[in-house]
Amino acid sequence: METVQALRQKLLSIDGKGYGAYKGVQGGYNSGWFQIFIDHVQADPFAPPSRLRARVEHRFSGFPRELFVDRAGRVALQDFVARELYRQLKSQQPAERAGTGKSGVLSIDRCGQEILERTAILVTADFIEARFSLGLPARGRTVQGKEAAGLITGTIPGSLEKCLLYKNISKDDLKAHVDLVRDQEFLRGSLEERGLVAFVANGSILPRESGISDRPLKGKTVVPFLSPPDLEIEFTLPVRGRIAGMGVPRGVTLIVGGGYHGKSTLLRAIERGIYNHIAGDGREMVITDGSAVKIRSEDGRRVESVDIGPFINNLPFGQDTSSFCTENASGSTSQAANIMEAIECGTSLLLLDEDTSATNFMIRDGRMQRLVAKEYEPITPFIDRVRDLYSDLKISSILVVGGSGDYLKVADLVIKMQEYRASDATSEARAIIDSTPDFRVVESTGAMGRPSPRVPIPVRGGREDRVRIKARGLEQISFGGDEINLAYVDQLVDPSQTRALAQIIRYAYDCYVDGRRSLPEIVERVLQDIREGLDVVSPYARGSHPGDYALPRGQEIAAAFNRLRSLRVCAPGKK
């Protein structure tokens, strides 16, 4: 490997030449305590910036092995350093642009409120590596070699020194970060043995700053969460020790209350409790079963051979619902498909909010049952399936229901929100059921079965290079001529997850979609490979820079597959 000193000479020697001369600096360079790799050189000053990696071996980085022996510790350490380096690089930006296009712009993937496994920082047994990008400086189309040398051999090593060497970072803050994630993982891992599907610690701050910000709401009006006494439960965490809060048991739980009293906010916090959150987020001790899936209606989505029979049958003109296909699902059929797909991929908790559900999917009341006979109503509403889901498939539900009292009858637990305070209204609800007449007839038609897993069909010629794959923001992936719309996949939280998803779909088609493996098997295989590192799905050469991916769950991988408009499956019953 050449030395960083030699790189400096190279950069100085191309000063004033055409931009293409930068191509010559691609490669790896050693500087003793760190190595720098220029993996990709941008074609011009306006193109996406060049991709670099910097690696520091642990004999120089000094990070104690204890911090990253386990997955939780490693992810926390990576996340901590990514945040530090993000701040550091940001502070390095000159107030005004030094050159043309993205000249001199240094950046690394940005972390949000969640602590996710990412490719921005990689910690292995041997080294820590940062993946970032740099706009190689130019004036017009002319190389600014001196500036480039200054950045690569001055500014960047300076930043690495501050963020990638244990001795220079705040040891207490790092330890607190690692401890927090270990406690969160411990808590999530303990839910099951305590018979719970979710836990909301006392003192949690659930509301967010605004509809477009994921930061906590601040100010005197914020009401911290406090568990109703009957539901209060204690955990002893490995680091933090004793912690108390509301335990949501398995079964069917309703969140009721007046409009604007905090129902959806509680559910949304629970929905995000599948992820670990940073200290100060307010939801760091809101922990949910990792397989939980938010279910909502999503009219307009495509559905590929999903058995929605448990919820919908007898469609007009005898359309098949055991292998239901549509290019344009309705509110209720899309919600049914979302549930059946979540079950196919393996979930033990469904989360539904009346705000984002189709009314006719949720309920058909006694009067409507009399007016429209069952044989002319294809929908078996969720109210008549929610108990079967639990008794037959052990799938719990948490539902926000402010509008329909009929639901009280199917609930094991009723949490009432009033002025953002939770109380246990279960006995009150039972008393009301006993003292009021019931007009409804239960419409459930037999036991809830598990859908047979569908088998995706390979695309002729593979999906690889011929297809242009691009993630756009959080919600869109374009896949060749195809669009995947993820706007209604509520538990996808980070654009870096979307970028990873785009590559995961391609990788899955290349490696595992063979016309025999089922969708859940394919997802499982991909996740197994990713356990070795998210880099495996990168389209770049091995060991090269994929620095802006974050790990999605299997449920979101399946959700992306299911929303691929060109997905074709051979379902058992498909004609």
Report what 439 binds from ligand ADP, Mg ion, none; CB cut-off 5-8 Å by kind.
Answer: none
CB atoms within 10 A of CB 17: 14
264 binds Mg ion (CB under 5 A): yes
464 binds Mg ion (CB under 5 A): no
Closest C-alpha among 570, 433, 556 to residue 502: 556
221 binds ligand ADP (CB under 6 A): yes
Report what 262 binds from Mg ion, ligand ADP, none; CB cut-off 5-8 Å by kind.
Answer: ligand ADP
Least distance between Mg ion and beta carbon 575 (Å): 41
**Contact between residue 105 and residue 135 where contact means Cβ atoms under 8 Å apart:** yes
Structure tokens belonging to residue 379: 């929908």
Site string for ligand ADP, 491-520 (x = CB under 6 A): ------------------------------
Q: How far is CA 414 from CA 260, 410, 428, in A?
A: 18, 10, 9
Least distance between Mg ion and beta carbon 259 (Å): 7
Three-class DSSP category at 36: strand
Least distance between Mg ion and beta carbon 67 (Å): 41
Whose structure tokens read 């979609």? 513
Least distance between ligand ADP and beta carbon 555 (Å): 24
Distance (Å, whole) CA 196 – CA 453: 27
Report what 221 binds from Mg ion, ligand ADP, none; CB cut-off 5-8 Å by kind.
Answer: ligand ADP
Count of residues that interact with ligand ADP, criterion CB under 6 A: 15
Residue number, 190 or 202, with CB nearest to ligand ADP: 202
Residue number, 261 or 463, with CB nearest to Mg ion: 261
**Contact between residue 321 and residue 313 where contact means Cβ atoms under 8 Å apart:** yes
37 binds ligand ADP (CB under 6 A): no
Closest C-alpha among 41, 32, 35, 30 to residue 148: 41
Report what 416 binds from Mg ion, ligand ADP, none; CB cut-off 5-8 Å by kind.
Answer: none
According to DSSP, residue 30 is labeled E
Reading phi first (left if > 0) and then psi (alpha if -120 to 50, else beta), residue 556 is in: alpha
Distance (Å, whole) CA 561 – CA 559: 5
Residue number, 133 or 264, with CB nearest to Mg ion: 264
223 binds ligand ADP (CB under 6 A): yes
Q: Which of 355, 464, 465, 514 binds Mg ion (CB under 5 A)?
A: 355
220 binds ligand ADP (CB under 6 A): no
Closest C-alpha among 356, 282, 298, 272 to residue 553: 272
Residue number, 148 or 254, with CB nearest to Mg ion: 254
Distance (Å, whole) CA 338 – CA 340: 6
Three-class DSSP category at 327: coil
According to DSSP, residue 317 is labeled G
Least distance between ligand ADP and beta carbon 421 (Å): 8
Residue number, 206 or 295, with CB nearest to ligand ADP: 206
Site string for ligand ADP, 417-446 (x = CB under 6 A): ---x--------------------------
The C-alpha torsion from 544 through 547 and 551 to 557, rounded to 10°, is -70
245 binds ligand ADP (CB under 6 A): no
456 binds ligand ADP (CB under 6 A): no
Residue number, 11 or 399, with CB nearest to Mg ion: 399
**Cα 303-309-312 angle, rounded to 5 deg:** 80
DSSP for 223-276 reads ------GGGEEEEEETTTEEEEEEEEESSEEEEEESTTSSHHHHHHHHHHTTS-
Residues 6+ apart with CB under 8 A from 452: 307, 571, 572
Report what 166 binds from Mg ion, ligand ADP, none; CB cut-off 5-8 Å by kind.
Answer: none
Residues 6+ apart with CB under 8 A from 344: 450, 451, 453, 454, 519, 520, 558
Least distance between Mg ion and beta carbon 390 (Å): 23
Report what 257 binds from Mg ion, ligand ADP, none; CB cut-off 5-8 Å by kind.
Answer: ligand ADP
Radius of gyration of the chain (CA): 27
Report what 553 binds from ligand ADP, Mg ion, none; CB cut-off 5-8 Å by kind.
Answer: none
Residue number, 223 or 233, with CB nearest to ligand ADP: 223
Distance (Å, whole) CA 41 – CA 555: 36
Least distance between ligand ADP and beta carbon 225 (Å): 7
257 binds ligand ADP (CB under 6 A): yes
Residue number, 256 or 508, with CB nearest to Mg ion: 256
- Contact set for ligand ADP, span 259-288 (CB under 6 A): 259-265
Residue facing Mg ion at closest CB distance: 264
Sheet with 482-485, strands from edge to edge, namely 469-472, 476-479, 482-485
CB atoms within 10 A of CB 131: 27
Least distance between Mg ion and beta carbon 409 (Å): 22
Distance (Å, whole) CA 60 – CA 129: 12
Burial class of residue 396, CB neighbours in 10 A (0-12, 13-18, 19+): buried
Residue number, 259 or 446, with CB nearest to ligand ADP: 259
Residue number, 215 or 367, with CB nearest to ligand ADP: 215
Residue number, 221 or 528, with CB nearest to ligand ADP: 221
Pick the piece of the chain touching Mg ion (CB under 5 A) from 19-27, 301-309, 315-323, 347-355. Answer: 347-355
Residue number, 111 or 267, with CB nearest to ligand ADP: 267
Binding footprint of ligand ADP on the chain (CB under 6 A): 206-207, 217, 221-223, 257, 259-265, 420
Binding site for Mg ion (CB under 5 A): 264, 355
